[in-house]
Structure 1
Amino acid sequence: MVFLIILLVVLAIIFGVPDIRRNLITKPIFTVFKRILPPLSDTEREAMEAGDVWWDGELFKGNPDWKTLHSYPKAELTPTEQAFMDNQVETLLAMLDDYKIVQEDRDLPTEVWDFIKREGFFAMIIPRAYGGREFSAIANSTIVSRIATRSISAAVTIMVPNSLGPGELLMHYGTEEQKQRWLPTLADGTDVPCFALTGPEAGSDAGAIPDLGIVCKGEYNGEQVLGIRLNWDKRYITLAPIATVLGLAFKLHDPDALLGDKSDIGITCALIPTDHPGVEIGDRHFPMNLAFMNGTTYGKDVFIPLDWIIGGPEYAGRGWRMLVECLSAGRGISLPALATATGHLATRMTSAYCFVRQQFGLSIGKFEGVQEAMARIGGLTYSLEAMRVMTAGSIDMNLSPSVVTAIAKYHMTEMSRVIMNDAFDIHAGRAIQLGPKNYLGHGYMGIPVAITVEGANILTRNLMIFGQGATRCHPYVLAELEAAANPDEAQGLKQFDGLLIKHIGFALGNTFGALWQGLTAGAFNTAPVSGETAAYYKQLSRMSRGLALSADFSMLILGGELKRREMLSARLGDVLSQLYIASAVLKFYEDNGRQQCDLPFVRYSIQLALFEIGRAFDGFFANFPNRFVANLLRTLIFPFGIGYKMPEDQVAIDICNALSKPGVLRDRLTHLCYVGDTEQDPTGLMEQAFVAMYQAQPLMKKLHQAQREGQLARKQPLEDTIEQALAANIITASEAEQLQKMNVLRFDAISVDSFKAEQLAALGIHSKND
């Protein structure tokens, strides 16, 4: 006891007296910390500091405040935005023939281009003061999603000017003169913008762009002015083939010190009219057989005035920070909108097809193998819609949450890939035959586009989500990095000392907290609600604690090596991502009134998220290089093993049952899906066949009962069965007419397109004999 008391007194003196603590504890740790901290390049530092920490910070601290999540406002359209959806958007949808756009014209019709420009589809983010619509992020997202269910090509065309590009950069950084010059003409469609960042030598590593601008004097409008001589070569630039104004990212050098004493100024963004001498718009790309405009641009020795830099000369060298900040907002709107559109379309059409298509005398939706895939489609679509609304809502809170938007971009586009693969599997031959009746084909082709742009998904998962999240979202790490980088070492040590004590307390709290929650399975965690979902909040809090603990140990043991151990950091990023996905689902459920019919979708989404968290942790523990630490973490977080499992079969069956009948839930879950009004539209045909077959179920049961009793023949065409039933007075004439109409719709809906050889030849498709 005496020894213990002495030990406690010594520890109290060491940690309680600042000078002693700094010399014995803080200084040695500070020296080690400076040695192992990950070295950051200028571009990495700017990316790390850009954007805002939001709900991701709560998830990373190990004890998320769920009341804070519920306090975020529900993202909703204003009356003006809803009126635009009901009028301009619906008018546009009726004008689109996606098969003709993609397979025949390879372009939007002239009247569609004119309508898009005239009605302000390119001006959704531009303020009203400059002639724009000034719509919210949720409106932007909803409009793009709705259009994408009708035509990916049209959606991308509209999406790009309202995402990263000249309009957004001008709004945030442009001089008032630049705004007055460009924003009104961008708003009314007189000017069409594009933004050129990616080139042959620089894609994900945008900091390595070779495109170069040299500060020099040159002639402009007959006068000698200070400007930039540019050389660039860019590709994959959406809207470049028709752009009238080019946003350009390049590296700026000042070898003659005309702007100051710094030669390498850094990445800079400028705005250049495409009719300016030397600007070349090159060939058009053909991305995945889609028809949106995408192409190349290049220039050699193009001289521009210095004030064409976005933001003016004082923004020279600040382009990378500008791009990263704007990109995070675009990632949270545009690509999640496309992914969600995939879910809405696939869920509505596949659930209808499951009912309409029959094998062995049953709708294929009755077979459990199909139900498993259909449940995945429905469950993931619920998660997609929840994430879309929550993420866009964060941007409408005047935030730019860089980690959250990276999570949304990666996981939502990957979910859409799973959904579309399952939809194709269920539709089988109905999906692979391209033609006017195919409502899935062009969406399938568009998925790789969303996955590869704004940072390929491999980059997003392996470098951005945890790499940025670990530093930005952690309560202390970024401040510790800044203290270690302080050129005044004494001041840095003092800053680090205060942070270290807090960090030690944070780590100890997470260590004992993780063990307690592991031993009790999170049973004593608090939840902001009662009922079934309360248990989900408790488990997510438990996994948040495990993430915080694992992140601290990883950074402590691996230091700068962690950012090169991409597989490890990606798994921790997966834990953070699944926590965010589950949070969005729970908030969506609450915001929509905790409707009982939503529970199967909530169960599926949360159980899947917990399963993926467990799988990510398991892979992390199995591959962490320090085996003692790996086993320690596994024991602390999961003392009785990882018990999370995939959603139960009954949950899948419940989802399929909910989607197999027309009704409010199905309409609400797929409210963004375009469904045509006539049988001539492929979506309208499938929906009408589905409704007709559902309404005819009592009559079909009557026919089946008659077959079982031997009154009607079995295994014959349905039209023959209807005629026999009418002749035998089993059904009335009006019932026979209803069944015959249903059967015509059913057969037409499951049929696929076929073409004469000359029709395919007109599309440039020839047989070997041609």
Structure 2
Amino acid sequence: MALTILIVIVAILALGYLRAPLIAWTIAALAGIAYGVYGGCGLHLGWLIGAGVIAAIFNIVPLRRALLTGPIFGIFKKITPAMSQTEQEAINAGTVWWDAELFSGKPDFKKLHGYNAPKLSAEEQAFLDGPTEQLCSMIDDWKITHELKDLPPEVWQFIKDNGFLGMIIKKKYGGVEFSNYAHARIVTKIATRGGTAAVSVMVPNSLGPGELLQHYGTEAQKDYYLPRLAKGLDIPCFALTSPYAGSDAGAIPDFGVVTRGSYTDPRTGQRHENVVGIRLSWEKRWITLAPIATVLGMAFKLYDPEHILGDKEDIGITCALIPTEHEGVQIGRRHAPPGSAFMNGPTMGKDVFIPLEWIIGGKDYAGQGWRMLVECLSVGRAISLPAMSVASGKFASFVTGAYARVREQFGLSIGKFEGVDEALARIGGYTYQMDSAQRLALSGLDSGEKPSVISAILKYHNTERMRKVLNDAMDIHGGKAVVLGPRNYLGNAYQTIPVGITVEGANILTRSMIIYGQGAIRCHPFVLREMKAAMANNGAEFDKAFSGHIGFVFDNAIRSFVMGVTGSKLNSAPVGGDLAQYYKDIERLSAAFALASDMAMFSMGGSLKFREKISARLGDVLSNLYIATSSLKRFADDGSPKDDLPLLKWAVLQALHDAQEALTGFLANLPNRPLAFVLKWIIFPLGRHFTTPRDRLGTKIARLLMQPGAARDRLTRDVYVPKNEADAVGVLNYALSAHIEAESTEGKLRRAQRDGKLKALNAQGRLDEALASGQITQAEHEIVTRARRLKREVIMVDDFDKMLDQHDTEISARIPV
């Protein structure tokens, strides 16, 4: 009897682990019960008859609908929370892609590695190496942020003349029509030199008039505006956010009323009398480029109380283009973002009359603004701020690795102290994660996808990692990064952290409401089908979806348990060696995540969307699974370079640990405690398995950042590095190479001093004494002298006159060595 029970248990686990179809479960169950009846196990014939009836109910669709899914459908329709129009449009926006695989419980890694690796065309590479490099050379970030408070006129003109404002605009309209990958690489490189310039280039190519016009504009609007936008003849901005509606764009208080009126078109000077248009009032804040914009994109709520356009009075959110010279438009005042001087400010207008023709797409698109915005947001959101975050990570890796090697305390490079070593590992590891996550998303964008959930993951997690990376970089640089001035290459980036955290949706709400809020519905293989079936009152479709959903839950529960007990050893992987286990572990956590999601929705129903802490933790699991898989994809796309293994392993191990901890937090806070208890033993039957990366792995990353080499070059690719020793960033590579060359001689000098062979009181005196006494050669003396001079340039900070007005660039000339 015990053997029979064991066989039954193994069979159940095997069928669930293999995701056997319903018919296989049915055959196995009937065969097992028949054996129990006729094989001498003492089961009564009634067991077989009962099992046959149950099998018929589950496998014969009319019976199943009549007795099982039909009644459930009736209940489901009553308890399913209604979605507002804005929620429906947000849910329907964009596409599902690799995120859906992660929600499946069994991601297809062959599909992952089948995605094209993003590549630059010859034209895009030439633009990155040519105009982008030249633009970076023209940027003096200190002068821009603290003296001019704007880009110099010659920089603005260079940006306009060389097509930086038309990267997304098609060539037939005068743009350069670059790929999303090229767009991100260009923004990244500019951002490593100056945030003001990067934002000024980024915004016209992100969510705004250019993108909206190409997707929805009338032919007349495209023909007029797109060539002007591409060449910088028009500077665009897009006004969405108001003082009373930030992340809640659906609460826009700005409104327009359809009516008749007269206006003068500022583009032509022509007067138009008694035409149908919109009387528009608005107050917007935090609008980038608004102070200098020539064309204002505007989102507002449109009403038609006189029913001029039709029967509907509340038409909905609408987007329009308004020349800023139009009568009543107010721009010109500025906000002051921290650490940057990009143009950002308010715009206002009261009872401004505009014609219907200024609606983007014409009057047929009145009320379609929210759909237009959310569809385009998934693209721009995956490029702009994630690229700025990647730039911060790459730049921090480059400068901090060099600084930590050159800067010494107690006769030792500070990067060799374990506390600094630990921070360097985080800088390199998080940078690898950020870059990998965006590269995979850009691969999807350039293949035609618009992954809205992934874009939210990138926005939140890249900007949060940017915050961590810059904090660590500041800590390692210490006093070097505290004193502002031209020599401080981190100060401005550190001050601008809140900008990335706040714009395009506050990070707190992106994490707690958007990532999982969209992902649970869009990416789940059955939930959206069930909801649509309920809204359409389609019982047949609900039967298919719900039946599949039940099997999905059952399979994931069994698979989670089996993989937890076996350490995922039974899973397959697309590669061999050490990396195979990472794929297996990701599959295990994917199944656990899918199970946890279903149990959260089952136990909390519609209230789940109000339990933001629960949603946030589930979103963290999904996000970290995405980050882990994107890191593996990036490593493979790069040709699996052995030198990059420490970065890859750190990135994946940290992501797996973070996903595990998010699941643990979910289980600890799930309101249904008995369910949480059961889930804990299914998901973590042997306890938590995934640890943070080991110290030895972190040390390898720290050494990688402090040593010139191919791995460091790959990680910091696209950092603009001036070939100039007088530049605060440019000197770092020279100082690093010189320091490494001088290390053996410096060691010789320290030993000689310790042994009493050198008596001089200062470093320069001992160096000269060693030369005079023949302990070092003239060549060694020169190597050390150069290394020390460059080291001094690296560690020096700026000082000014008493009023902090006049900066002295000749510090070395007035301070004795």
TM-score bin, normalised by smaller chain = over 0.9
- Pick one of 147, 154, 173 that aligns with 1:104: 147
- Structure 1 partner of 2:778: 733
- Structure 2 partner of 1:719: 764
- Structure 2 partner of 1:267: 317
Distance 1:38 1:357 in 2: 60
Q: Is residue 2:596 matched to residue 1:550?
A: yes
CA deviations 1:637-663 (Å, max 9, x no partner) are 110111111100000111112222112
- Pick one of 528, 535, 540 that aligns with 1:494: 540
CA deviations 1:382-429 (Å, max 9, x no partner) are 111111211112111111100011001100000010000000111111
- Pick one of 139, 142, 164 that aligns with 2:185: 142
Distance 2:595 2:339 in 1: 47
Shift in Å at residue 698 of structure 1? 2.4
Distance 2:664 2:404 in 1: 36
With over 3 angstroms needed to count, the CA separation of the structure-2 counterparts of 1:366 and 1:572, relative to structure 1, is same
Indicate the SS of the match to 2:729.
helix
Q: Is residue 2:284 matched to residue 1:241?
A: no
- Pick one of 248, 258, 265 that aligns with 1:215: 258
| Equivalent residues of 1:39, 1:560 under 8 A apart | no
Deviates more, 1:117-126 or 1:17-26: 17-26
Distance 1:740 1:288 in 2: 39
With over 3 angstroms needed to count, the CA separation of the structure-2 counterparts of 1:652 and 1:717, relative to structure 1, is farther
| Equivalent residues of 1:718, 1:743 under 8 A apart | no
| Equivalent residues of 2:339, 2:493 under 8 A apart | no
What amino acid maps onto 2:756 in structure 1? G
- Structure 2 partner of 1:696: 742
Distance 1:687 1:439 in 2: 14
- Pick one of 644, 651, 654 that aligns with 2:697: 651
| Equivalent residues of 1:383, 1:585 under 8 A apart | yes
| Equivalent residues of 2:255, 2:280 under 8 A apart | yes
**1:119-198 correspondence runs (5 A):** 119-198=162-241
- Structure 2 partner of 1:425: 475
Q: Is residue 2:575 matched to residue 1:529?
A: yes
Q: Is residue 2:450 matched to residue 1:400?
A: yes
With over 3 angstroms needed to count, the CA separation of the structure-2 counterparts of 1:396 and 1:713, relative to structure 1, is farther
Percent of aligned pairs sharing the same letter: 53
Indicate the SS of the match to 1:455.
coil
- Pick one of 730, 739, 755 that aligns with 1:684: 730
- Structure 1 partner of 2:326: 276
**1:612-631 correspondence runs (5 A):** 612-631=658-677
With over 3 angstroms needed to count, the CA separation of the structure-2 counterparts of 1:594 and 1:713, relative to structure 1, is farther
Distance 1:4 1:721 in 2: 96
- Structure 2 partner of 1:767: none
What amino acid maps onto 2:763 in structure 1? L
Q: Is residue 2:630 matched to residue 1:584?
A: yes
Indicate the SS of the match to 1:398.
coil
What amino acid maps onto 2:688 in structure 1? I
| Equivalent residues of 2:427, 2:469 under 8 A apart | yes
- Structure 2 partner of 1:57: 100
- Structure 2 partner of 1:39: 82
| Equivalent residues of 1:163, 1:334 under 8 A apart | yes
What amino acid maps onto 1:698 in structure 2? S
| Ranges in structure 1 where 5+ consecutive residues have no aligned partner | 764-770
Indicate the SS of the match to 1:757.
coil
- Structure 2 partner of 1:359: 409
What amino acid maps onto 1:393 in structure 2? S
- Structure 1 partner of 2:48: 5
What amino acid maps onto 2:788 in structure 1? N
CA deviations 1:306-355 (Å, max 9, x no partner) are 11110111111110011011111111000110000001110010011111
| Equivalent residues of 1:15, 1:21 under 8 A apart | yes
CA deviations 1:594-628 (Å, max 9, x no partner) are 11111111111111011101110110000000011
Distance 1:720 1:36 in 2: 84
With over 3 angstroms needed to count, the CA separation of the structure-2 counterparts of 1:762 and 1:711, relative to structure 1, is closer
- Pick one of 355, 358, 361 that aligns with 1:305: 355
What amino acid maps onto 1:744 in structure 2? R
Shift in Å at residue 7 of structure 1? 2.5
Distance 1:270 1:165 in 2: 11
| Ranges in structure 2 where 5+ consecutive residues have no aligned partner | 1-42, 264-270, 809-817
Q: Is residue 2:794 matched to residue 1:749?
A: yes
Indicate the SS of the match to 2:330.
strand
| Equivalent residues of 1:144, 1:155 under 8 A apart | yes
- Pick one of 629, 637, 647 that aligns with 1:601: 647
Larger Rg: 2
Distance 1:406 1:19 in 2: 42
| Equivalent residues of 1:122, 1:189 under 8 A apart | yes
Q: Is residue 2:246 matched to residue 1:200?
A: no
CA deviations 1:130-149 (Å, max 9, x no partner) are 00010000111000010101
Q: Is residue 2:418 matched to residue 1:368?
A: yes
Shift in Å at residue 758 of structure 1? 4.0
Indicate the SS of the match to 2:435.
helix
- Pick one of 16, 20, 23 that aligns with 2:66: 23
Distance 1:758 1:204 in 2: 41
What amino acid maps onto 2:690 in structure 1? Y
CA deviations 1:514-545 (Å, max 9, x no partner) are 11111111111110011111100000000000
Indicate the SS of the match to 2:260.
strand
| Equivalent residues of 2:332, 2:345 under 8 A apart | yes
Distance 1:222 1:388 in 2: 48
Indicate the SS of the match to 2:577.
coil
| Equivalent residues of 1:527, 1:534 under 8 A apart | yes
Distance 1:470 1:668 in 2: 35
Shift in Å at residue 583 of structure 1? 0.6
CA deviations 1:198-225 (Å, max 9, x no partner) are 0011001000001001111112423321
| Equivalent residues of 1:438, 1:682 under 8 A apart | yes
- Pick one of 457, 466, 472 that aligns with 2:507: 457
- Structure 1 partner of 2:122: 79
Deviates more, 1:328-337 or 1:704-713: 704-713
Indicate the SS of the match to 1:277.
coil
Work out the number of aligned pairs and report it.
758
What amino acid maps onto 1:77 in structure 2? L
What amino acid maps onto 2:737 in structure 1? V
Distance 1:371 1:173 in 2: 51
With over 3 angstroms needed to count, the CA separation of the structure-2 counterparts of 1:356 and 1:761, relative to structure 1, is closer
- Structure 1 partner of 2:39: none
The alignment's TM-score, normalised by the length of structure 2, stands at 0.91
Shift in Å at residue 718 of structure 1? 2.6
Indicate the SS of the match to 1:680.
coil
Shift in Å at residue 668 of structure 1? 1.5
Shift in Å at residue 761 of structure 1? 7.8
Shift in Å at residue 686 of structure 1? 2.4
Distance 1:535 1:676 in 2: 42
Shift in Å at residue 282 of structure 1? 4.6
- Structure 1 partner of 2:465: 415
**Aligned CA-pair RMSD:** 1.4
What amino acid maps onto 2:476 in structure 1? I
Shift in Å at residue 720 of structure 1? 2.2
Shift in Å at residue 447 of structure 1? 1.5
| Equivalent residues of 2:258, 2:276 under 8 A apart | yes
| Equivalent residues of 2:254, 2:282 under 8 A apart | yes
What amino acid maps onto 1:112 in structure 2? V
Shift in Å at residue 721 of structure 1? 2.2
Q: Is residue 2:390 matched to residue 1:344?
A: no
Q: Is residue 2:115 matched to residue 1:69?
A: no
Deviates more, 1:383-392 or 1:41-50: 383-392
What amino acid maps onto 1:336 in structure 2? P
Shift in Å at residue 708 of structure 1? 4.2
- Structure 2 partner of 1:468: 518
